[in-house]
Homo-oligomer: A and B are copies of this chain.
Amino acid sequence: MSNMKQIAKMARVSLGTVSHVLNNSATVREPVRNRVLEAVQALGYRPNQVARGLRRVKTSMIGMIIPDITNPFFPAVVRGAEDVSFSNGYRLILCNSDNHHSKELVHLNELRSFLPAGLIVIPSNFSDLTAQAEVYRRAGTGVVCIDRLPTNWSGDSVTADNEEGAYKATRHLLRLGHSTLATITGPLHLTNANDRLGGFKRALREAKVKLAPEYVQEATFDKAGGYSKTLTLLRLIPRPTAIFAGNDMIALGCLLAIREAGLRCPEDVSLIGFDDLDFGETTNPALSSVSQSGYQLGATAANILVERIKGNSDPPKHVVLETSLTIRSSAARAPN
């Protein structure tokens, strides 16, 4: 790999001049400039990112910490972030926290020594990142939280409009004539799970539909959680005729449990999920779901970071992305 010294020699200029034309840090006369550019071409020179990072005290890498890339909601988020990072000259370092705050902290701490230009994090359970983010901020490194917010978060954030999405889904159920509704939420210490519950409750309140506490079940954001809590719900009297699931994985568990209980979806119990993951199209019945763009979540976060890196120091941004209801066949009119 060639370096600036070789370029300088070949172009018969000094090292500094090479740097100047490469970074436009000083106007260099055309002929000289051209000689440098030609040498760069000839040697296939590319700046050594590591040396540059050391000198600038900031590399062109963006750290991304997510719970688990294996969870089907996250790949799109990562892709969105990677795309805008890449097109702005940044690379993504991917870290999985498995939703453990301790692992998240390890990543946060260790990533610092890589001098990333910024950080995108989907907080783990019980996350409080105030202290760590402050360390980064002091080093001039932006941190943006997405999808859910850690406690006390006051920095940049991008989230979906979870409350509104849940509200729309619940209204849809209500309009279909359901009056015994239930919900299986994600872990309620997660802001997204909690906001969705809020939207669900608001819709019921507005429709003056009662909600007994047993009809709200908290689960983990996965199939197993949805499955077991659905079994619980289906034993209730009166049995709910509609379930709003905190996300599609939970909804998948619901579907399994409903089938196993010898009931039919949507004839006996209607179901709406959240996230609108790909598999929803091909479940039986096809899953109605609140659609949010994971891609946009990641892309928006990366964009904010790029702005911050460029020097934007506006007060923290809190972007809230729209959600919409995708109607398929898992929600139908309430049985009499």
Using a CB–CB cutoff of 8 Å, the interface residues on chain A facing chain B are 1, 46-51, 53-54, 59, 61, 68-70, 72, 74-76, 78-79, 82-83, 86, 91-96, 109-115, 139, 252, 255-256, 278-279, 282-284
The answer to whether A82 touches B96 (Cβ under 8 A) is: yes
The answer to whether A139 touches B1 (Cβ under 8 A) is: yes
Q: What B residues does A82 contact at CB under 8 A?
A: 69, 94-96
**Cβ contacts A to B, 10 pairs, < 8 Å:** A46-B112, A50-B54, A50-B59, A50-B113, A70-B75, A74-B75, A78-B94, A83-B96, A282-B283, A284-B284
Known A-B contacts A53-B50, A78-B69, A110-B46; A94 and B95 likewise in contact (beta carbons under 8 Å): no
Task: Tell me the minimal C-beta distance from A176 to chain B in angstroms.
Answer: 23
Q: What B residues does A113 contact at CB under 8 A?
A: 1, 46-50
Known A-B contacts A69-B75, A69-B78; A50 and B284 likewise in contact (beta carbons under 8 Å): no
Query: Which of A51, A76, A93, A279 has most B Cβ within 10 Å?
Result: A279
The answer to whether B54 touches A51 (Cβ under 8 A) is: yes
The 9 tightest CB contacts between A and B, nearest first, are A284-B284, A279-B279, A50-B53, A49-B113, A94-B94, A69-B75, A46-B113, A50-B54, A49-B114
CB within 8 A of A46: which of B91, B94, B109? B109
Q: What B residues does A95 contact at CB under 8 A?
A: 82, 86, 91-92
Task: Tell me the minimal C-beta distance from A85 to chain B in angstroms.
Answer: 10
CB within 8 A of A93: which of B61, B112, B139? B61
